[in-house]
Amino acid sequence: MFKPHNFHIALLVLLGQISYSQVAGFQEPQKDSFFYIEGFTYPKFNDLDHYGWFRINGKIWENTEIGVGGEHYRRWGADRLKLEARIKQGINETTSLIGGYQQEWDLYNQGRGYPNPVPRQEVFLGLEKDIRPNMMMGIKLVQPLGTYDFHSLGLEDVKTRVELGTRVKF
C-alpha cells in the first residue's frame, strides 16, 4: 500500500541524488593546461531516455583551441549520435569565433532497428560569448552538406539554420 511518507522519502532521496551529482567532484576545467574536458548528462530516470554531451579541448596557441566532442540523445522513437570537430579562436577575453564540422547518425533508423549507414554531415560557423563567469551564450550558422534521408530532430525540411544556445555551469 502506498503511504505518503514513503513518497516524501523517495522524493528527498531523488532530489539529493540530483543535487549531489551536480556538485560532487565538480572542478572547473583547467584552461591553463593543454587539454581540458567538458561534459554534461541528465540523471538516469529510466532505461530508455538518455542525453549526454562531452567535449575534449586542447589549446594549440595562446587564443586558439581545437576540440572534438559528441552528443547522444535517446528517447522513445529516436536515438541520435552527433560527433563534431571544431576550432575556437578567441577575439577578446569573453568572445570567441567558432567553426567546424559535424556528423549525425540516426541509430534508430526511422524504426528499422539498426543504424543508418549514411551520417548527416554539416559545417558550422558561429560566435560564443561569456556573459557571466558561469554562463555562455552562442549563436552559429549550420549548413548541411548534401541531402539525407533523415533530418535533425524537430527540424523537418529545414536546411541551413541558425542555432542559439546557452550553457550554464553549476
| pLDDT tens digit sequence for 38-90 | 887 777 778 888 888 899 999 998 889 999 999 988 887 778 889 999 999 99
Sign, CA dihedral 53-59-60-63, equals positive
Grid coordinates standing for 4? 505518503
User: Is the pTM of the predicted complex or chain greater than 0.75?
Assistant: no
Q: Give the pLDDT band (50/70/90) at residue 1.
A: very low
Nearest residue to 105 (alpha-carbon basis) of 114, 94, 90, 116: 116
Q: Where are the domains of the chain?
A: 27-168
Tell me which fold the domain 27-168 belongs to: Porin (2.40.160)
Nearest residue to 151 (alpha-carbon basis) of 114, 116, 127: 116
Q: How far apart are the first and last CA of the chain?
A: 38
